[in-house]
Structure 1
Amino acid sequence: MTRKYIDCREFPSETNCTVALSADNEDELLNAAVQHAVSVHKHDDSPELRQQLKSLFHEGTPPVEAPRA
């Protein structure tokens, strides 16, 4: 299984979030990403949010440097 990640630095936000999450298991990554989106970015946990987050997953590990916008 390939490690996957999601990186908040790819998206503009009011908080200029610098969190990147990674996991070996897609379900584990999704749960962590949802918790982060709800608690930090004040999104509502919904099937639509979960689907959107899954579509933003990348294979591998997050880069050390922030992605360029």
Structure 2
Amino acid sequence: MGRYFIDCREMPSDKKCTLAMAADTEKELMEAAVQHAVAMHGHTDTPELRGEMKKVIHQGTPPAAAPRAA
């Protein structure tokens, strides 16, 4: 089993957030990422938000260099 990660730098944001997080399962990662999006970016936990986040979940570990923004 590999790791999964999501990098805030890939999501459109006025805050220029540089947080990246990783977990052993997509479910665990999604829950943490949604909590971050709600608490720090003011999003509402909706199926649409989760769908957009699912698009930027990757296998492996976050890169040191900034990825291209969505």
Aligned equivalents of 2:64 and 2:28: distance in 1? 21
Where in structure 2 are the equivalents of 1:29-68 lying within 5 Å?
A: 29-68=29-68
Unaligned runs of 5+ in 1: none
SS at match of 1:40: helix
Aligned equivalents of 1:12 and 1:54: distance in 2? 14
- Bigger Cα displacement from structure 2, 30-39 vs 10-19: 10-19
TM-score by length of 1: 0.87
The count of residues paired between Structure 1 and Structure 2 equals: 69
SS at match of 2:41: coil
RMSD: 1.4
SS at match of 2:53: helix
Letter of the aligned partner of 1:43 in structure 2?
A: H
Letter of the aligned partner of 1:13 in structure 2?
A: S
Q: Does 1:9 align with 2:9?
A: yes
Unaligned runs of 5+ in 2: none
Aligned equivalents of 1:67 and 1:48: distance in 2? 22
TM-score by length of 2: 0.86
SS at match of 1:65: coil
Letter of the aligned partner of 2:31 in structure 1?
A: N
Moved over 2 A (4+): none
